[in-house]
Amino acid sequence: MTKSYEVGSLIAVTSGEYSDYCLMGHMRVLRPFSQNEVVAEFKARGPWKVKGYPPVPTTADDEDGEDWDCHDRFLAWLVSEGYAEPVESVQTMYIGAYSHLEGEEE
C-alpha cells in the first residue's frame, strides 16, 4: 500500500535506518500525491543527470547507483514541482525520557 498525501497535510520527512535514522525536515503538501508515484516520476525524469552525479539507485541493493545526496535532490525536486513547500516555523518540545514527564528547564 502506498502512502498518499492530501493538500494542507504536514509531513515530517525522515530517512535512514537505526543509527542513521534522521528527520530531514517538515513540509506542507500543496498538491495531492502518492509517494510511489512521485518517486517513480523523479527517477524517470532524471533530474540528477548532471555531470559528476551517478544515477539514483533503482533498488536498495543497487550499489552501482549509490547516490548519497539523492534524498536532498528529491526533496528539492518535490518543491520545484509544486508538490510541497518547506515549513520553517516548526519548534520542538522536549517532554522527558524513560517515563518521566518533564517541564522546561529554567
**Range(s) of the domain holding residue 44:** 4-101
In a domain, 106, yes or no: no
Look at residue 71 and tell me whether its pLDDT is greater than 80.
Answer: yes
Look at residue 92 and tell me whether its pLDDT is greater than 90.
Answer: no
In a domain, 68, yes or no: yes
In a domain, 91, yes or no: yes
In a domain, 29, yes or no: yes
In a domain, 43, yes or no: yes
Please write the tens of the pLDDT for every residue from 5-56: 999 999 999 998 888 888 999 999 999 999 999 988 888 876 555 445 555 5
Domain count, the chain: 1
Q: Is the pTM of this model over 0.75?
A: no
Average pLDDT of span 2-7: 92
In a domain, 44, yes or no: yes
Burial 55-87 (b: 16+ CB within 10 A, else e): ebeeeeeeeeeebeebbebbbebbeebebbeee
